[in-house]
Amino acid sequence: MMTLTATAAEKVQDFIREHGVEGDVGLRVAVLPGGCSGFQYGLNIEEGPEEDDEVLEIQGVRIFVDPFSAQYLKGVEIDYVTGFMGQGFTFRNPNATGGCGCGSSFTV
């Protein structure tokens, strides 16, 4: 469905350890209406999945995806990059037909 690079997985695991989150913890990856191009990505650490979530295990990280978001996340690669302009998670979506300069908003 989607991929998570080793660097991104390490950052997620570091965050979970640093903040002492416990339980059936995982990374929620969501697609939300909004942003300057129509949709935007959302990431959040949660203590467990919702009842209708798809639960994936990628690079040792549990990932929770709701049914609405799943249709837009096929083939997406999530990475964590550090560069001259800062650092953060990035999304490579082969299904996106457009985007904007913020890097977290897209159209399909």
- pLDDT, residue 14, reads 93
pTM for this predicted structure: 0.84
User: pLDDT by residue (tens digit) across 56-74?
Assistant: 999 999 999 999 999 989 9
Domain range list for the chain:
2-107
Q: Which fold has domain 2-107?
A: Hypothetical Protein Aq_1857; Chain: A; (2.60.300)
DSSP 16: H
- pLDDT, residue 86, reads 84
Q: Give the N- to C-terminal CA distance of the chain in Å, as an integer.
A: 17
- pLDDT, residue 107, reads 52
Q: What are phi and psi of 51, to 5 degrees?
A: -60, -40
Question: Cβ contacts of residue 88 below 8 Å, gap of 6+?
Answer: 80, 81
Q: Would you call 6 helix, strand, or coil by DSSP?
A: helix
Q: Share the mean pLDDT of the chain.
A: 86
Mean pLDDT by 10 residues, the chain (108 residues): 95 89 88 77 93 96 96 93 87 74 51
One-letter amino acid of 106: F
